[in-house]
Amino acid sequence: MKTINKLREIRIRYIFLLFLIAFIGCERDDFQKLDQRNWQLVWSDEFNDPAGVLPDASKWTFDIGTGQSGWGNQELQYYTNNPANVSTDGEGNLVITAIRSGNSFTSARIKTQGLFARKYGRFEARLKTPYGPGLWPAFWMLGENIETNPWPQCGEIDIMELRGQEPHIIHGTIHGPGYSGGNPVTKSYALINSRFDIDYHIYAVEWDENKIDFFVDDYLYHRIKRSDVPGEWVYDQPFFIILNVAVGGNYVGFPTSQTPFPQKMIIDYVRVYTEQ
């Protein structure tokens, strides 16, 4: 009697599994085993101003000029606060435009330094990248204490970077003391049969005291645990946000005569969440 009951139990379990597989299927997310989160929006810019308006001065300031040695990377562009290089388009986007005139380039780099910085949370932007050899867009963050603790000690989190001659690959990276410049902690994410300049994608990091997770369209492609960092973990302080389009430099190489200009990065929104 006991044996017959046990067999019945097994049979019922198997049938149940059969139904599960038949009706629920095999979604990719099921294999990522992500923790459930409860995010609350703490800061955002939806860029809903009319066309031709500079970014909200209560949220963004500008890096102007060429910095030191092309912003440390031999970049070619001169950053401005000219609406031709950075302004809303009246359709819910902020557009950063790299413009060539002759052999010189202008573009824009905006940041929330001094206006907004946050420790931990989810930082995301929905945007379309520019393309073409020598174009280098970025959505990234720097540690707030950069004035007193110069880079790389302040830490850098690059949520999205792209080389314009490979418009189908983005890179998520952190730079810190001992692992910066040419040897940061980095991973790439590539589209198999598409490119990042054709459509909007959502680039995000979810960051807490133990790890920094990198996402493209809610797919986790890179997890850096505190213990993975080959040096000091410097990510326990607020970071501010930067958006820019660079032209040329050590990371991407130079634009050629075949690089189409002007080039635009089109940003639908930037949003920052904290965990409830």
The residues binding other proteins (CB under 8 A) are 7, 11, 15, 131-133, 135, 164-168, 191-195, 197-198, 256, 258-260
Nearest to 106 by CA among 86, 90, 88: 86
Query: Is 75 one of the catalytic residues?
Result: no
- Smallest separation, CB 88 to other proteins (Å): 22
CB of 111 to other proteins, least distance (A): 26
Tell the smallest beta-carbon distance from residue 219 to other proteins (Å): 17
Tell me whether residue 171 or residue 271 sits nearer to other proteins (CB atom). 171
Least distance (Å) between residue 254 CB and other proteins: 13
Shortest Cβ distance from residue 80 to other proteins (Å)? 24
**What's the Cα-to-Cα distance from 148 to each of 24, 152, 212, rounded to whole Å?**
54, 12, 24
Q: How many CB atoms lie within 10 A of CB 148?
A: 8
Q: Which is nearer to other proteins, 146 or 190 (CB)?
A: 190
| Closer residue to other proteins (CB): 4 or 57 | 4
Residue 17 vs 42, nearer CB to other proteins: 17
10 Å Cβ neighbour count for 21? 10
Q: Distance from first CA to last CA of the chain, Å, rounded? A: 53
H helix or E strand, kind and range, residue 106: strand 104-107
Q: Which is nearer to other proteins, 129 or 180 (CB)?
A: 129
| DSSP notation for 172-213 | EEEEBTTB-TTS-EEEEEE-SS--TTTS-EEEEEEE-SSEEE
- Indicate which residue of 75, 124, 156, 206 is catalytic: 156
- Is 156 one of the catalytic residues? yes
Q: Which of 244, 256, 260 is nearest to 67 (CA)?
A: 244
Catalytic residue among 161, 166, 206, 209, which? 161
Q: Would you name the residues annotated as active-site residues? A: 156, 161
